[in-house]
Amino acid sequence: MTAFKDYLANKHTRPAPLKGLRVLEVCTLLFGPAGPAFLATMGAEVIKVEMPPLGDVTRSLNPFGWFYKEQSPMFMHINPSKLYMGLDLHQEAGQEIFKELCAKSDIVEFNLRPAVTKRWNIGYDEIRKINPGIIYIEKNGFGQWGRYAEEDRPSNDGAAQALSGFAWISSFPKRPPLKQSIWVCDVYGALMGEVAVLAALHHREKTGKGQYIELSQTENIMRAMGWVWPYQQLAGKGAEPSGNRDQCICPADTFLCRDDQFAAVAAPAPDEFKGLCAAMGHKELAEDPRFKEHTERLKDENALAILKVIADWARTKTADEVEQLGIRYGFSATRLHSGKDMFEDPHRRQRGFVKMIDDPMYGYYPDHEFPVMMSKSPPRHRWTVRPVGFDNDYVMAAILGRSKSQIEECYANGVLGLWKDQQGRRPPPDWDGKSGAILRR
């Protein structure tokens, strides 16, 4: 495709789309920081403000207690390309510095419990007085008002999956609920937050005015649950869990194959269904009145009948054979991949999605690139994470114009701080003490 000719070779020389925007975040875990990370990858200057010396608790969340060069791989994946500031917002002096930064920023983001920002004198009403153009977003579990907010409930992805009904609908019939092991409410919530932020930027461009955005993680995932809530609301009927079977698309399910691997098969469109029937050696099924029309096929009895035919057929083929037949006959069929398969898939490397990062602090290691390509202004991973307060001096001197002695005073009063010397917080053992720094003490 000509728009993407030499894309991978040239993307580092082209300006990222959000270059020139400044974002402040006081965010924790995944739901909070993942949003600004999207903006950072799109080229915005994102300053991650953390409480020194421990910072974001995500720094302690890692698979089975495993660290990569003393850092949580999950924290690295969620927070790339940001600047790191250790600033105590309990202190008035910290709040003043934060407000000065707000005056010089476009966007400020939080995912704390309701009322925390007001307690720190950095609520929207305070900040908009300083910067009427600011786009101010607060995300949390249940919103800033309403019963759950008044109860000051903490929230997290698992709670959102449970409360929204998502974990319940994701299970198999008559089996316990199944929480998804990826943090889908966090990442999807973070993404929706940034959709609103970008819309607010557009609004500001037209009117000159900033605005306040609030996002409830649970409401967001409820809205994402496709047909489940409309069916309840309009038909007055509750959806029931159905495992891998799709209840709006038929056939669409996951099948056990001859080699004990699984293949996901879907063939809702007329040609796809005809292709699947031909691949199974049962062309006549495509004309069977129970199956010919999609709406007929969806009726429970008919759906169970055709799914049984496919299940029996799939058991006679390997998952790879089913996948190949899907390509040949024009229906969707995919062998289920593991994490290892995904990592090794050459298709991902060819597209530059799985790539080697070369970071001045963390060295040469593989990670995912941003999954969106833009032909004129490519988003891109710029650098890896840094310890708490790593960029304090840059932010204080270059952005706020503070002198060396003023910065020293902030450190002496504990307003500014650096990382703790412990696993998950300190720099890698092979760090030379200066690489990766823009300006450090």
Within residues 412-431, the interface with ligand COA by CB under 6 A covers none
Please pick, from the candidates 18, 24, 41, 50, the single residue that binds ligand COA as defined by CB under 6 A. 50
Q: Is 194 in the site for ligand COA (CB under 6 A)?
A: no
Comparing CB distances to ligand COA, the nearer of 112 and 178 is: 112
Q: Is 31 in the site for ligand COA (CB under 6 A)?
A: yes
Q: Is 113 in the site for ligand COA (CB under 6 A)?
A: yes
Please pick, from the candidates 7, 8, 14, 28, the single residue that binds ligand COA as defined by CB under 6 A. 28
Comparing CB distances to ligand COA, the nearer of 179 and 335 is: 179
As measured in angstroms, the least distance from the Cβ of 22 to ligand COA is: 17
Q: Is 214 in the site for ligand COA (CB under 6 A)?
A: no
Comparing CB distances to ligand COA, the nearer of 314 and 418 is: 418
As measured in angstroms, the least distance from the Cβ of 396 to ligand COA is: 15
3-state secondary structure the chain: CHHHCCHHHHHHHCCCCCCCCEEEEECCCCHHHHHHHHHHHCCCEEEEEECCCCCCHHHHCCHHHCCECCECHHHHHHCCCCEEEEECCCCHHHHHHHHHHHHCCCEEEECCCCCHHHHCCCCHHHHHHHCCCCEEEEEECCCCCCHHHHCCCCCCHHHHHHHHCHHHHCCCCCCCCCCCCCCHHHHHHHHHHHHHHHHHHHHHHHHCCCEEEEEEHHHHHHHCCCCHHHHHHHHCCCCCCCCCCCCCCCCEEEEECCCCCEEEEECCCHHHHHHHHHHCCCHHHHHCCCCCCHHHHHCHHHHHHHHHHHHHHHCCCCHHHHHHHHHHHCCEEEECCCHHHHHHCHHHHHCCCEEEEEECCCEEEEEECCCCCCCCCCCCCCCCCCCCCCCHHHHHHHHCCCCHHHHHHHHHCCCECCCCCCCCCCCCCCCCCCCCCCCCC
Report the residue number whose CB is nearest to ligand COA: 154
Within residues 56-95, the interface with ligand COA by CB under 6 A covers 87-90
Comparing CB distances to ligand COA, the nearer of 280 and 385 is: 385
As measured in angstroms, the least distance from the Cβ of 417 to ligand COA is: 10
Q: Judged by CB under 6 A, which stretch of 59-67, 106-114, 271-279, 430-438 contacts ligand COA? A: 106-114
Comparing CB distances to ligand COA, the nearer of 34 and 277 is: 34
Q: Is 186 in the site for ligand COA (CB under 6 A)?
A: yes
Within residues 137-166, the interface with ligand COA by CB under 6 A covers 140-141, 154-157
User: Which residues in this chain contact ligand COA in the complex, by CB under 6 A?
Assistant: 26, 28-32, 49-51, 87-90, 111-113, 116, 140-141, 154-157, 186, 217
